[in-house]
Amino acid sequence: MAFINSKNKLVQKIKSAWGQPKDSSFDFDLIEHYFRKKSSPSALQVISNRTMNDIDFRSLFSYVDRTNSKIGQQFLFSKLLTIEKSPGFEQQEILIDHFMKNEGQRIKSQVILSDLGDDKSLYVSHLFLEPFVEPPKYLGIIKVLSVLSFLALIATLINSRIFIFLAALLFLNTAIHYKYKKYTELYCNSIPRLILICKCIRGLIKLNLPIKPKDSIFSSLKSIERLKSQMSIFTIEANFNSDIGSSIKYLLSEYIKMFFLLEPIIVFHVLKKLDQKKSDIQNLFEYVGEIDSILSIASLRYGLEYHCMPHIPANDNRMVFTDLYHPLIPNCISNSLAVNSKSILLTGSNMSGKSTFIRAIAINALFAQTINTCFASNFRIAPIKIFSAIRISDDLLSNKSYYFEEVLVIKDMIVESETGPGNLFLLDEIFKGTNAIERIASGKAVLSYLNKGNNVVFVSTHDIELTDLLADSYDLYHFTEVIENSKVSFDYKLKQGYLKSRNAIRILEVNDYPKEIIKEAKEIAEQRSKTLL
């Protein structure tokens, strides 16, 4: 009865959570492990740390993640940041359509995956991405001591005088047992989850989902399940708790393992076997991760007011989107744009929406190519790599100035501009770490260079001079504020052309800056404007 009630509560929780962001915490050090360590030879691009930070990816992931298992969580994190050369979304869409139309099977799948929802499952990726600990050089001696202990026990039953030798062996074995106990504890989070993964996959197979597992999944299942009984030594350690029955069982097993030195012998035997089965472990991990990530994408789409699946033509470098928005901003104002042969230069005051708009483009360009999902009513983009320079700061630890850090980041873009099927470059306030004259000159030269071939550039600037210098190769758009009754407001709508009005001093004025400051600022601005003209 308790089991039935527990399962009913889980089902109700799953139903109520469908389409909703999680309210749990995220251990990104462990969640990112699979992404950081795995090899991606087939990828068009693995998104850099810089771009991750520029688009606030961890906050974005906390919103997007609707997985049921920790394995699915790790897999989804990696999936969102890896643009494949041939993504192949056909199977994903078949499964999403199936789950949307078959709530019963969707919930059964989620219940099965929930068995891997504890934090210990985050350690499974270590089993195929990290080296195992090396066995001690004198493991053979430990095996001899184990046999001697068994023989000494038998001999003591025949001749009690041998008990002294048996006691000495017990003392020695106890010391050895606890010396190597740390290795059992090191893997008691991950190895028991292998048994659960096998159980989970068997459960998913029984559901007869429309996408059948590859033969390699069955082969990997059998390979790992052969070690099930031997891996149970880690399960005993992991499942120990403080109730009396469990304590007695644990102590009995501990004494037996200690007396016959079973633990180090079995542990290093299992590790040796698993070291030969890393590809099988990864195969099973990624199968579970794929199913769970697809469920997460389905839940994400269900919870959105609107979304679309992008059109990704292979030989068309135009970018077109309608009603595009940033998913992390409540009631976000959407914008539409068609990028044809020219890149885009944005002008506008601070807080008018330029940076948010650029981030929204980056997020949608990324998700279009990784999960076939966009926060827009229409989105068209060719296969493209994504590079950004939105949030740059002084690197105090390596003693780099803001400007020098900018130079290095943009140099990487220049190198990348000559490779790949196409590149999307996103820059916010280019070279703002230096003086106006050189900033404008350098900015114009760099932006002209980046805007070649199939590359697309989105750049924001406060330098109106750049709009004249780049008018032939960049389409001009702007965001602006509205000042009415001494109040500043923003409509966050993209408008064609460059920003003609300059309201920075006016904003100081409506915020009650001293009249002396306002007067001097206006005089200087007027003089400089005449000089530039």
Least confident span in 176-190, 233-247, 292-306, 333-347: 233-247
Residue type present at position 287: Y
- Please state the rounded mean pLDDT for residues 404-424: 89
Tokens of 8: 């009913």
Instruction: Output the pLDDT for position 295.
Output: 98
The CATH code that applies to domain 319-501 is 3.40.50.300
Instruction: Output the pLDDT for position 501.
Output: 63
Whether the per-residue pLDDT at 238 is higher than 80: the answer is no
Question: Helix %, strand %, coil % for the chain, to 5?
Answer: 55, 10, 30
In whole angstroms, give the CA distance from residue 469 to residue 171.
84
Between 470 and 404, whose confidence is greater?
470
26-49 tens-digit pLDDT = 999 999 999 999 999 889 999 999
Domain ranges of the chain: 2-135+182-302, 139-179, 319-501
Percent of the chain exceeding pLDDT 90 equals 56
Whether the per-residue pLDDT at 125 is higher than 90: the answer is yes
Using pLDDT thresholds of 50, 70 and 90, give the confidence band for residue 528: low
In whole angstroms, give the CA distance from residue 314 to residue 324.
22
Residue 343: partners with Cβ closer than 8 Å, 6 or more residues away? 447, 450, 451, 455, 456, 457, 458, 459, 473, 474, 475
Residues 273, 224 contacting (CB under 8 angstroms): no
49-89 tens-digit pLDDT = 999 999 999 999 999 999 999 999 999 999 999 999 988 89
Using pLDDT thresholds of 50, 70 and 90, give the confidence band for residue 400: low
Q: How would you list the strands of the sheet with 495-496, edge to edge?
A: 385-389, 423-428, 456-461, 343-347, 474-478, 495-496
Between 134 and 483, whose confidence is greater?
134
Between 437 and 315, whose confidence is greater?
437
Positive/negative CA dihedral, 475, 471, 343, 47: negative
Least confident span in 83-92, 416-425, 499-508: 499-508
What residues pair up with 343 in beta bridges, in sequence order?
474
Instruction: Output the pLDDT for position 529.
Output: 62
Picking from 371, 491, 272, the residue whose alpha carbon sits closest to that of residue 65 is 371
- Please state the rounded mean pLDDT for residues 2-21: 86
Using pLDDT thresholds of 50, 70 and 90, give the confidence band for residue 138: confident
In whole angstroms, give the CA distance from residue 216 to residue 214.
5
Asked if the domains 2-135+182-302 and 319-501 are classified in one and the same CATH topology, the answer is no
Picking from 407, 381, 372, 414, the residue whose alpha carbon sits closest to that of residue 392 is 407
331-344 tens-digit pLDDT = 999 999 999 889 99
Instruction: Output the pLDDT for position 486.
Output: 66
Instruction: Output the pLDDT for position 242.
Output: 46
Instruction: Output the pLDDT for position 94.
Output: 97
3-state secondary structure 219-262: HHHHHHHCCHHHHHHHHHHHCCCCCHHHHHHHHHHHHHHHHHCH
DSSP 329: S
Thinking of the domain 2-135+182-302, which architecture would CATH place it in?
A: Orthogonal Bundle (1.10)
Tokens of 196: 């659960």
- Please state the rounded mean pLDDT for residues 238-247: 54
- Please state the rounded mean pLDDT for residues 462-474: 89
Residues 382, 514 contacting (CB under 8 angstroms): no
Long-range CB contacts for residues 215-218, cutoff 8 Å, separation at least 24: 216/283, 217/283, 217/284, 217/287
Instruction: Output the pLDDT for position 525.
Output: 75
For 165-229, give the DSSP string.
HHHHHHHHHHHHHHHSHHHHHHHTTTHHHHHHHHHHHHHHHHTT-SSPPPHHHHHHHHHHHTTHH
Instruction: Output the pLDDT for position 14.
Output: 95
Count of residues making up the chain: 533
Q: Count Cα atoms within 13 angstroms, Cβ side, for 409.
A: 28
Residue 120: partners with Cβ closer than 8 Å, 6 or more residues away? 70, 189, 190, 192, 193, 238
DSSP 345: E
Residues 382, 317 contacting (CB under 8 angstroms): yes
Whether the per-residue pLDDT at 286 is higher than 70: the answer is yes
Between 516 and 109, whose confidence is greater?
109
Using pLDDT thresholds of 50, 70 and 90, give the confidence band for residue 435: confident
Whether the per-residue pLDDT at 231 is higher than 80: the answer is yes
Between 394 and 106, whose confidence is greater?
106
Place of tokens 């007011």: 305
- Please state the rounded mean pLDDT for residues 292-313: 97
- Please state the rounded mean pLDDT for residues 346-366: 92
Between 2 and 481, whose confidence is greater?
481
CA dihedral 520, 525, 528, 533 (to 10 degrees): -150
Average pLDDT over the chain, rounded to an integer: 88
